[in-house]
Amino acid sequence: SESNSAPTATNGSAGGDVDDAFLETVLRDVMLGDLLDRCEAEAPDACGLDAEMDWSSTLSLGEQQRLAFARLLVNKPDLAILDESTSALDVQTEEQMYVLLKRFGISYLSVGHRPTLLKYHRSVLQLKREGGSYSASLMDASDVDMETYLMNTT
């Protein structure tokens, strides 16, 4: 069967049975509490927490990013690598997502260009291409002025 990388919210996504009440709580935590109601309105016969839908055509990019955070919270990995994971979110929603990661005890590494990301990290890893090789330097996040940093690296 063809693999679909679109985000889905199913009990099977956590590798086992997950309590429906917990899933609904997580959806509310990521501000998608209305998702099941919207689904019910659009496709009443194909809805519920086990429904498989093409979320990329149903949800905005910001909603897809919040659903991806919900999947992280349900799966509770030790480490999440977040690549531009909040690019479509406003600053307040971005903060809520990082607060949730911390509350759930999920360590994370973020890749992004938003200056607002700095406050959620202790360190910044800078990778520079020098000819045919790369160099790396680790900086304390509190020592980085992201606006200046981005102007000098892009």
pLDDT digits (tens, 9 = 90+) for 79-130: 999 999 999 999 999 999 999 999 999 999 999 888 899 999 999 888 888 8
CB count within 10 Å of CB 64 equals: 15
Residue among 42, 50, 58, 43 nearest 9 (CA): 50
Question: CA 5, 19, 31: angle at the middle one, nearest 5?
Answer: 60
- Break the chain into its structural domains and give their ranges: 11-121
pLDDT in tens, 1-33: 333 444 444 434 444 678 889 999 999 999 999
Q: Alpha-carbon distance 32 to 96, whole Å?
A: 13
Region of 48 please: left (phi>0), alpha (psi -120 to 50) or beta.
left
pTM attached to this predicted model = 0.78
Indicate the fold that domain 11-121 takes in CATH. Rossmann fold (3.40.50)
